Every structure is written in C-alpha cells, then in structure tokens.
Chains A and B, each alone.
Chain A
Amino acid sequence: MNAPFYKFDVFGDTAALGVAFAIGLGMGWFLERAGFGSATKLAKQFYFRDLAVLKVMFTAIVTAMVGLFLAAQLGWVDLSLMYLQPTVLWANVVGGLLLGVGFIIGGLCPGTSVVSVATGRIDAFLFVMGVLASQFLVGEAWPLFAGISEAGEMGQITLPGLLGVPYGLVVLAVVLMAAGAFVAAEWAEVRFGGVDRAAQPLLGAGWRARNAPRVLLASLAGLALLGMAGGDPYRGPRVVIDERELALLIQKEADHVTVDDLATWIVEGRMEVRLIDLRHPAAYAAGTIPGAENVPLADLPAAEIEPGERVVLFSQGQTHAAQAWMLLRARGMRNTYSLLGGMDEWNDRILFPELPAEPPPDQAAEVERRRALALRFGGSPRVEAAAGAPVAVPLPAAMSPPAGVAPPAAPIPTAAPVKKKKKREGC
C-alpha cells in the first residue's frame, strides 16, 4: 500500500478537493456532535465546568497519532511524507497566546465557528466576520507580522527528534498523559461543574458506558507499545549531498550525454550502459530507446543500482532525467548521466534526422552515417529538398518496442504513416 495516496499520485488535484470536502463533512459532523457548535459549551472548558474541549481534542490526537504510528510501522503509510509544519518557536508562542486570548473572548475557534454558524448561531457569524476581517488586517499590515512569524525558526522537528528518544516512547507517553488528563477532567467536572456522574452517566448506564473510554485508551496504549517494537517509523531515505561537487559537475557538463554519444555507444557496443526510461509505463510501452528498462521516476528510490554502474537516465524532455540524476548522485551513484534532450531529441536527431537530399561533398560521409544510424534504430531520415523545405516522407512507426533489445537493421515498413508528434514534457 502506497500512502499518503495523494502524494503517490493515486488521485489528482481535482479529486483532492472532493476528498477535502468529504473530510470536512466528517470533521463538521463530529465537532457538532461533540457540542462544539456552542460557544458557551466551549468556554466552560476554561472555568473547569465542562472539559469536553480537552476530552475531544486529546482523544482525537491520541487516536490519530497511534493510528498513524501503527500504519507507518506496518509499512502502509510513509510517515516521512506527512506534511510537518516547521517549528517557529516565538511565532508559535506569540501566535498561540493570541489564539488563546481570542478563544476566551470569542468562545470559538475558526473550525468550530463554522459549525456554530451552520447551526444558526449569530455570535458565531460575528466571530467568522472577525476572522475574515483579521485576514485583511494581516494582509495589509504584513510587514508588521512578517518579523514575528519568522522568529525562532527551528525547521521541521518532532518531539522525539528534539528529545532524542524513540518515537514510540513519546507516543506512549502522550497516551498516558491523555489518560491522566481525562481522569483529572472527570474529577474537575464533578468538583467545579456540579456534574453528578451517577445521574449523568457518560454513555448511559452499564459496564460498557462506564468503561468505553478506558478500553479505548488501554487499547491505544497497548498498540503504541506494540508499535515500539518496530523502531523508528521515519523511514524516508536521508542523504547528504556535496553541493559544490555537484554544481561543478553540472557546470562542466559532466552530468549528461548527448543522443549522438548514446547512439554511438549502443551501435559500437563497447560499453556496458544501463538505460533507464523514467517515463510512465504507457509512454514506455509506446516506444523507447532500444535496450532501455522502465523505472518510473517515483520508483527510482527503490531501484537497485550498483554504485559504479554506468547508467543513462532519460525522460521525454530532459528535466525529469536531470532531476533523477541528482537523486542518484545523492545516493552515491557516481557513474550516472542524463540524456540531453531526452526522447524528443532522440526522435529529432537519431530516428528522424533532417538530412539534405544533395549534401555537399565534404558532408556526404556524415550524412550517410546519420542515415545509417537512423535506419539502424528503425527510424527514417527526413530528406530536405534542395530549396530547403523538408519533403514529407511517410514515417514508419519506428519507435522501437521496449522488448527489442537489438534494434532491427532495417526500417519496419508499416501501412499507417505516423505523424510525428512533438510532445514536449511540461515537467
């Protein structure tokens, strides 16, 4: 299972908005069920009379935290792909305090205010207008806020990373802390809120009612313990690159090969070259460079490549290949190259080169060599008329099928002339 699905391109941006709406539905439903559409109920949190805010929030946090931790340990979700808001210490402190002040003055927060408006609360409508007004204020006076919102940058950092303790241990500690907070909350509601637990049982009477939260917390703690056996859930490969070394290599153009070089290498067969086509499998199936294997870009990190192996990476244009080159170099693959111009250039220069019909004598040998090369790889040269305009010749479907490691010696005659589409890669 490859999750988070959106990051693995299982669905696109438009579908993501549908997902957003569905997730919002769930969020709104449970916030309303919990009573968070009511400012008076929310505010009671701060007078120790009704601690539903604490209970709902911490139950949600421990549920999602343990669930995500376990999913990561089972290899279902890649935790390192989760978006982690960078920590900006002073911004978090000042912003947090302002949020707290707003919470007690307004009795709502941005999320709950939406639910409160939806259930007809007029005060919530004013609150929402306040939040909206604040955004105009922040936008117009952004220079005033820019400084504080960047004060104390610490980067993306988790509590286990900061404390240097195992992730699972912190997960377990948070579950136990939540359990402690819940016991205190139940006590406080009886003490300050005048709640009579005998008259107002949590879920109604009976064993299940009394013990459901306990069973939930005990299960979460047990699962956290179980997950601890799996070690560090962050498994994204981390590498260190030498920026200067790579910049120099790129500057002296030692990072790529031209299509002419590659064609010569293949024809002469003197060098072991591993050709990797980074495009989607469909593009690969439609035609590729002879001998190339298909490793879509997202699968590259998992591909087995020997550190000294000579690898040529190519995509439709050259951007993806150049980026993949960086990825492999970062992994310590020292003998990798990207193909300059990619498949587009291969088609233009090798398979279907534009050659003069009557070349001047000093170029005749070169033109003949290129013609032979095109035929060798199953293409066909486009012949230029004396006037300079290319003469349309029927082009055979000459893109080699991926299976054919050895390219055919002669062009394959096909009935339907293929109109050469110049598909430039957008990315």
Chain B
Amino acid sequence: MQGSPRPYANPYLAGFGLGLVLLAAFVLMGRGLGASAAFSALAAVIVEWISPGHAAANPFFSRYLGPGGGLEEWLVWEVAGVFVGGLVSGLLGNRVRPAVERGPRVGVPVRLVLAFLGGLFMGVGAKIAGGCTSGQALTGGALLNVGSWVTMICIFGGAYALAWLLRKEWT
C-alpha cells in the first residue's frame, strides 16, 4: 500500500484485451461474459440455506438452484475469477487501498447509502432486462443482439438523463 498507484492502462488497449477475453468465452463456451446472475444464484443459495422449502417453491430462486445452479452456476465461478483477477491486477499496479470513492462535494455516509441504492436499482434492472452491462451490453453487443443494443442504449440513456441531478455526488 506504499507508493503511488501506477497509472491505468490505455483504454483502447484494455478494451482490446477485454475483447479477446470475451472472444475466448465465445470460442470455448459458446456464451459470453456476465455478472448479475452470479448474484441471483448466490441469493438463491442463501434462501435455500435458510429455508429449502421456500426456495424450491419460489419460481425465481428455484431457477438458480438444482443441477448446474447454485454454487455450480457458471457465472458464480466466473465472478470469483473477476474478483481474483481484479485483485492481482490491483496489487501489481499498487492500486489496492481501502477507500470510499466519491466526488468532492459528497460525504461518506451519503455516498455509501447511494452506492447501496445504486446496487438495488442495478440488480432489479438486470433481472428485468435479462442481464447487466456485461451480459447484455458487452456480450450481446458483440453478437449484434437486438435486445442487447436496446438495453445498452437505455443504460446510457438512463444514466445520462439523471447525471445532472446527481452532479453533487460525482463532481
């Protein structure tokens, strides 16, 4: 944690690398990247742990359980990899440090509440849209999937529409 963090990579180079990872997923698995369904599977596992009957009776949770679900869900392992990959890259770049990311005009408690709220919105949005920025925008974008491009445009649209209202959080 000593010394200054190394600068980030050139975005085009990072994007090229990320694109190759996505291509590898296509060639190896016949599917792309994702993230949000890992959270759904994790939630389903927790519900099942607390009350197996309740989880089995629920049409949403039960979808993420059973063979190939729960902790055997592909995206759970992928997201575990994301965590480790991010950690290794951060350590090598001297960028791992406990911090609360916020704009200069917002306090820590407000930022933390907003972060939780943002997660809530994104989690609900991802389940309605059929994926998040990774599964829909990135993966479906590369597959020229109509729904993914609609989702991608709406993600940017929604964020830009609210950006002015939330300027105090970030600028």
Contacts and interface: CB of A to CB of B under 8 A. Distances in A.
A101 interface: yes
B134 A87 contact: no
A149 B125 CA distance: 10
Contacts of A157: 145-147
Contact of B151 (A71, A83, A96): A96
Interface string A191-226: 000000000001100000000110010000000000
| Interface SS of B by simple majority | helix
B10 A202 contact: yes
A24 to B, nearest CB: 2
Interface in B15-50: 15-36, 38-40, 42-44, 46-47
B147 A110 contact: no
A251 interface: no
A27 B21 CA distance: 6
A118 interface: yes
Interface in A119-152: 119-124, 126-140, 142, 145-146, 148-149
Given A109-B134, A135-B39, A32 B20 contact: no
A20 B81 contact: yes
A102 B125 contact: yes
A61 B138 contact: yes
A105 B162 contact: yes
Contacts of B82: 24-25, 27-28, 31, 111, 114-115, 118
A115 B48 CA distance: 27
Contacts of B170: 40, 43-44, 46-47, 107
A55 B34 CA distance: 19
A26 B21 contact: yes
Contacts of A359: none
A1 to B, nearest CB: 9
A21 interface: yes
Nearest to B9: A33
Given A99-B126, A111-B35, A105 B12 contact: no
Max chain B C-beta neighbours (<10 A), residue from A7, A35, A94, A106: A106
Contacts, number: 557
Contact of B119 (A5, A28, A122, A134): A134
A127 B116 contact: yes
A81 interface: yes
Contacts of A82: 26, 30-31, 143
Nearest to B41: A135
A128 B149 CA distance: 25
Contacts of B25: 23
A157 B156 CA distance: 22
A167 B144 contact: yes
Given A17-B74, A21-B77, A34 B121 contact: no
B86 A85 contact: no
Contact of A56 (B15, B74, B111): B15
A63 B157 contact: no
Contacts of B103: 40, 43
Interface in B65-101: 68, 72, 74-90, 93, 95-101
Given A5-B28, A95-B126, A137-B120, 6 more contacts: A25-B81, A27-B33, A33-B9, A59-B15, A114-B83, A129-B116
29 contacts: A17-B77, A22-B81, A24-B79, A24-B82, A27-B134, A33-B93, A52-B11, A60-B22, A81-B30, A82-B26, A82-B143, A83-B31, A85-B131, A85-B145, A96-B150, A100-B154, A100-B157, A100-B161, A111-B82, A119-B90, A120-B99, A122-B100, A128-B39, A132-B43, A145-B128, A146-B59, A156-B145, A157-B147, A161-B146
